[in-house]
Structure 1
């Protein structure tokens, strides 16, 4: 009689299974494709490790962003990424995260007080403004300039400051009007219309980012103005497509949401693994105009 012996299988179960890490991120607004790209880079790396990302959008409302960070703290997340609505007012809330042992990394926008941050990862925003001003100074004989700003956010104010500091050295150019637009196309459009009605001699518009530059472009169309040249900052696919095709768009300074996102998530994991992390990481930017556009993909970000 045959005897069948059932095989025994031994499985090793680790006494210390890896715990899933949870991260929170709050952007000033998701109404900007730049932040969508950064978020995708965070999500891609986090999910590849089996971890989770909780995404919040305060809709440019500081109070909502403050509440979102406090919710992350209450959830005891493993790390927080913040793209500040207000560069000055958020420190007391971030201090609570630090006291709770939760690392915080600022992305794209620095804070005035970085005491509670592990790291800040931004483009060279001051140089973006400098590059726009230098392009104007070398491509035009003279001009009257209007500015589209977002003063509550340091990255945007750094761009305008770099622009102002540089253009002030050339008496051929004058800034004659300024308006706040929160970096939003739908706000930049009426603000540009109003500035051009107040100062119709404007020939150049310096916008803090590409969405506001596109809002300025829409305003020019409604006013039937073809004598104004526009500069932006971002290097969005929409803006790059217009360079060399639309005479009103003179240029944009390219920053890379891919690099910002990849650097941010790498820095967070490095910190959690007790590896050294730089306190301030500044990523170079580059001017895109009709001469250099061929080096860039028009269909995507750089």
Structure 2
């Protein structure tokens, strides 16, 4: 074999070897992953709003052949942090979180260091750098709409606020209400209480408030479960002429708008949209597409005037 033929043969051999090494190495460092796993933790599953979000989210994820692991911290921030750490240890491909306390989700720092995409649902976190996106209602406007409706109904009012002050979304709703009435002294906030948005906690605190005040005209509740708790307290103490507002648009409160003169309205959210948007944007992040930092879903006030245009048996 002459020199030229030998060189040609060496080149062919090296090309074959390089091709084989490239194939082996490429398949090793970039495995094709066909099954994705996500983690979701909500502040509580004792709220139909989060059940609907989760059901829709799970449906969208399973449609892609992927898996959703769901955890319920039961309003315990330490437990929620532990659940996120569990997701990190499982090396999930993405995390959905509905924060119990917007300032105390320290586990998100570990998730960020692990390179796991994070979407906050219904409420943001204090350090926005720790999440990729938040999907929430226009919570401030929910409070504004309730206040505006009250002012149309009544020339003056003694008002009670039911709050959940560790959650950004709940704070925004109450703030929207308060800001709308602040320049009108005839609308007075006479009392307030924390109830964590839970019916079973709202009822006793509302009973205590009613025992302290002979005159209450309006209850502004951070969500529908707390509005239902307030309504139960009002009815148990046989008080009348008190209007109750909620935020959510649950089937329970929508049906009561038609039945009870005490239920003034609810600023309706759309948990169905929340679930779909959360899934869509998580897949966009994984596909290296840009997503908005904040996705704000509009709210609509439902009252007796427009209740017939809504489905009282389901969600929006």
Q: What TM-score results when the alignment is normalised by the length of structure 1?
A: 0.93
Give CA deviations for 1:238-258 in whole Å, capped at 9, x if unaligned. Answer: 000011320000000001001
How many angstroms does 1:72 deviate by? 0.4
Q: 2:266 aligns with which of 234, 252, 258?
A: 252
1:99 matched to 2:113: yes
Aligned residues: 287
Q: Give the whole-Å Cα distance in 2 for the aligned partners of 1:37 and 1:84.
A: 17
Question: Which one has a larger percent helix, Structure 1 or Structure 2?
Answer: 2
1:213 matched to 2:212: no
Q: 1:202 aligns with which of 200, 216, 219?
A: 216
Q: 1:67 aligns with which of 57, 76, 82?
A: 82
Q: 2:65 aligns with which of 50, 63, 72?
A: 50
Q: 1:32 aligns with which of 31, 47, 70?
A: 47
1:137·1:170 contact (CA, 8 Å) conserved in 2? no
Gaps spanning 5+ residues in structure 1: where?
Answer: 1-14
Pairwise CA RMSD of aligned residues?
1.0
Give CA deviations for 1:147-179 in whole Å, capped at 9, x if unaligned. Answer: 100001010011001111111122221000000
Q: 2:257 aligns with which of 243, 249, 259?
A: 243
Q: What TM-score results when the alignment is normalised by the length of structure 2?
A: 0.89
Q: Which residue of the partner structure matches residue 125 of structure 1?
A: 139
How many angstroms does 1:30 deviate by? 0.1
Q: Give the whole-Å Cα distance in 2 for the aligned partners of 1:104 and 1:158.
A: 22
Q: Which residue of the partner structure matches residue 159 of structure 2?
A: 145
Q: Which residue of the partner structure matches residue 11 of structure 1?
A: none
Q: 2:38 aligns with which of 12, 16, 23?
A: 23
1:25·1:80 contact (CA, 8 Å) conserved in 2? yes
How many angstroms does 1:44 deviate by? 0.5
Gaps spanning 5+ residues in structure 2: where?
Answer: 1-26
Q: Give the whole-Å Cα distance in 2 for the aligned partners of 1:77 and 1:60.
A: 23
How many angstroms does 1:18 deviate by? 3.9
Give CA deviations for 1:85-140 in whole Å, capped at 9, x if unaligned. Answer: 001111x3111111101001000011121111010010000000011111111111
Q: Give the whole-Å Cα distance in 2 for the aligned partners of 1:243 and 1:197.
A: 25
Listed as ranges, the matches of 1:135-214 within 5 Å are 135-214=149-228
Between stretches 75-84 and 194-203, larger displacement belongs to 194-203
Q: 1:234 aligns with which of 216, 241, 248?
A: 248
1:88 matched to 2:103: yes
Q: Give the whole-Å Cα distance in 1 for the aligned partners of 2:306 and 2:41.
A: 34
Q: Aligned with 1:243: secondary structure?
A: helix
Q: Give the whole-Å Cα distance in 2 for the aligned partners of 1:159 and 1:17.
A: 45
Q: Give the whole-Å Cα distance in 1 for the aligned partners of 2:268 and 2:99.
A: 21
Listed as ranges, the matches of 1:252-271 within 5 Å are 252-271=266-285
How many angstroms does 1:222 deviate by? 1.0
Q: Which residue of the partner structure matches residue 112 of structure 1?
A: 126
